[in-house]
Structure 1
């Protein structure tokens, strides 16, 4: 039996087990199973690999996408450049980290945010998921600013207090990479001047559970285009499956 799974701190929001279990059933894959592994800290990865020797592939979610890097034997080039890992291949006891968030986000953004509409983006959050988003925006040549509660002045990151109505006119793509609004804390949302949103804005939330966060609901009320992270999840999962089987 080949084992795959997801590691993270809290996994009650995750659709990954459902997605892979349905995939195995649909495709007649009988010698594989996918499990959720809640770990108190990333360092527990070593213990998990010892206790589960049948593991051949793992997905990584918040808050471990950067913390797992020093624990791995090898990093694929794109993951090394991004500085975050969301997929681990385990082969002969050796671990190699990859980033399929980049693949999933870039392909869905290209479809959601038409070239003719592209201006500048605001990226809410600066964690591991944000790093994949930054790389995709760079690849698509979309200028962006990151927004953080604790901004890095050297990187010219913005605070939420700096997000004015005037700024919103120049940045028509807003991407939430934070867990705000994610189940079970569905009553939270990023602190933005939502009354400055227009029908020309595009709001992308990496959160997919619930399907429509308060952040996206505010966008919809303003007539903005909205997109959640479900397609991104499916595409990064398919890319991970290809890596585990390569």
Structure 2
């Protein structure tokens, strides 16, 4: 039996266990299971890895950065982003060999790419936390210039109150990387001047619960195209499965 799983803390509302368990049942994969490993501290990872059945892991908050100290190698995306959410576990020279990947970047890129139009030339990234790292990496790969927008002043970003009609007009992709609007706080949304949005805009929210956040509702009301984070979630999970079996 091969065991896969998710490390993080807490893990009460994990998407991964249900997703992979249903996949194994649907595809009649009888020799695999998926478990949750809530770790109060990252040092507890060594106990998980001591199980010889462990064949691959997903990583969620708060350990996407800390876990890198336990890995032997990073793929190019994970190294550039500075965060890992997937670990392939193999063997090299008779010893366990752990390689870290960032499948969030893959999921975001593959879900964004079909939506891009020729007039989608520049982007605004709302928020500058961990989730924004993968988004920045993908936009750089796609050669789409961006501005990061934050609540409190940080180097290399502008404040929400600095957003003008001109900035909104010339930045047609708006990506929310903050948790604002996530259930149960569904009324919350990034404080941008939504009345400047037009049909040429694409509003992408990494949040997937609820299906349509307040951010997306307000963008849609102005005629913008909208996309939530559910497909990205599925794609990053499927990419993990591909990595574990390649």
Give yes or no for TM over 0.5: yes
Q: Normalising by structure 1, what TM-score? A: 0.89
Deviation string, structure 1 residues 29-72 (Cα, Å, up to 9, x no partner): 0111112333344444334334x542221112233322322232
Provide the C-alpha distance between the structure 2 equivalents of 1:232 and 1:54, rounded to a whole number of angstroms.
28
For residue 199 of structure 2, give the secondary structure of its aligned residue in structure 1.
coil
Tell whether 2:112 aligns with 1:109.
yes
User: Which residue in 2 is equivalent to 1:119?
Assistant: 121
Alignment pair present for 1:147 and 2:149: yes
Which piece of structure 1 moves more, 88-97 or 212-221?
A: 88-97
* Contact 1:122 1:171 (C-alpha < 8 Å) held by counterparts: yes
Contact preservation (8 Å) 2:87, 2:99: yes
What CA deviation, in whole Å up to 9, does each residue of 1:142-176 have, x standing for no partner? 110112334432xx211222223332111111111
Equivalent residue, structure 2, for 1:64: 63
Stretches of structure 1 that go unaligned for 5 or more consecutive residues are: none
Q: Which TM-score applies when normalising by structure 2?
A: 0.89
Is the partner of 2:128 in helix, strand or coil?
Answer: coil
Greater Cα shift, 99-108 or 126-135: 126-135
CA distance in 1, matches of 2:5, 2:113: 29
Change (3 A) 1:179 1:36: farther
Distance 1:78 1:26, change over 3 A: same
Structure possessing the higher radius of gyration over alpha carbons: 2
> Does the CA contact (< 8 Å) of 1:13 and 1:209 recur in 2?
no
Residue equivalent to 2:230: 230
1:87 alignment counterpart? 86
Q: 1:149 to 1:66 in 2, by over 3 A?
A: farther
